[in-house]
Amino acid sequence: MTATTPTGTRKRRLRDRLPVRLRQHWKPVGALAVGLAVMVAFLGDVRISPYVTSASRVEADTITDDIPGTIDLYDTSTAHSIQLTYQQTDFDKMMKEFKEDGTKDWIKADLVVDGVYLNDVGIRLKGNSTLMSLRGDQAKQGKQARQGGAEAGPQGQAAGQQGQEGQADEDAQDEQGGGRGGGMVQYDLSAEKPEELPWLVKIDEYVEGRAYQGEREISLRPGANGQVPLNEALSLSLTDTSGQKAERYAFTSVEVNDRPAVTRLMVENPDTDYADGTDGDGNAVLYKARAGGDFSYQGDDPSEYESAFKQLNKKGSQDLEPVMKLIKWVENASDEEFARDLDQYVDVESLAAYVATQNLLLNFDDMAGPGKNYLLRYDLDTKKFTVLGWDYNLTFSGDATAGPDDSTGMSGAMPGGGEGGDGQQPSGAPEGMPEGLPEGAEMPQGGPGGAGGEGQERGGPGGGAAEHPLKTRFLESDAFDEVYLAEYKKLYQQFYASGTAAKEAKAIAGQARAAGAGSEELDTAVTQLTGTVTDRAAALAKDEQVTG
Please provide the average confidence, as pLDDT, over all residues in the chain. 79
Domain that holds residue 458: 285-547
Residue 293 to residues 20, 169, 372, 390, 436: CA-CA distances in angstroms? 55, 8, 9, 17, 18
Q: What is the 3-state secondary structure (H, E, C) of 455-496?
A: CCCCCCCCCCCCCCHHHHHHHHCHHHHHHHHHHHHHHHHHHH
Please report the pLDDT score of residue 25 as a whole number. 52
Q: Is residue 29 part of a domain?
A: no
Q: List the chain residues with pLDDT less than 50.
A: 1-12, 14-16, 20-24, 40, 43, 46-58, 60, 139, 141-169, 172-177, 179-180, 411-465
Other beta carbons within 10 Å of 41: 8
Please report the pLDDT score of residue 540 as a whole number. 98
* Contact call for residues 179 and 221 (beta carbons, < 8 A): no
Q: Is residue 1 part of a domain?
A: no
Q: Which of 219, 248, 273 is the last residue of a domain?
A: 273
Q: Is residue 333 part of a domain?
A: yes
Burial class (CB in 10 A: 0-12, 13-18, 19+), 25: exposed
Tell me: do 265 and 342 sit in the same domain.
no
Tell me: do 223 and 186 sit in the same domain.
yes
Burial class (CB in 10 A: 0-12, 13-18, 19+), 334: exposed
Question: How far is Cα 220 from Cα 298, in angstroms, rounded to an integer?
Answer: 35
Give the chain's domain count. Answer: 2
Tell me: do 482 and 433 sit in the same domain.
yes
**Which of 75, 278, 66, 291 shows the shortest CA–CA distance to 175?**
291
Length, in residues, of the chain: 548
Question: How far is Cα 494 from Cα 396, in angstroms, rounded to an integer?
Answer: 17
- 21 Cβ contact partners less than 8 Å away, ≥ 6 residues apart: none
* Contact call for residues 98 and 72 (beta carbons, < 8 A): no
Please report the pLDDT score of residue 46 as a whole number. 47
* Contact call for residues 261 and 255 (beta carbons, < 8 A): yes
Tell me: do 154 and 206 sit in the same domain.
yes
Q: What is the pTM of this model?
A: 0.78
pLDDT digits (tens, 9 = 90+) for 315-361: 889 999 999 999 999 999 999 999 999 999 999 999 999 999 999 99
Phi-psi region of 192 (alpha: psi -120 to 50; beta: other; left: phi over 0): alpha
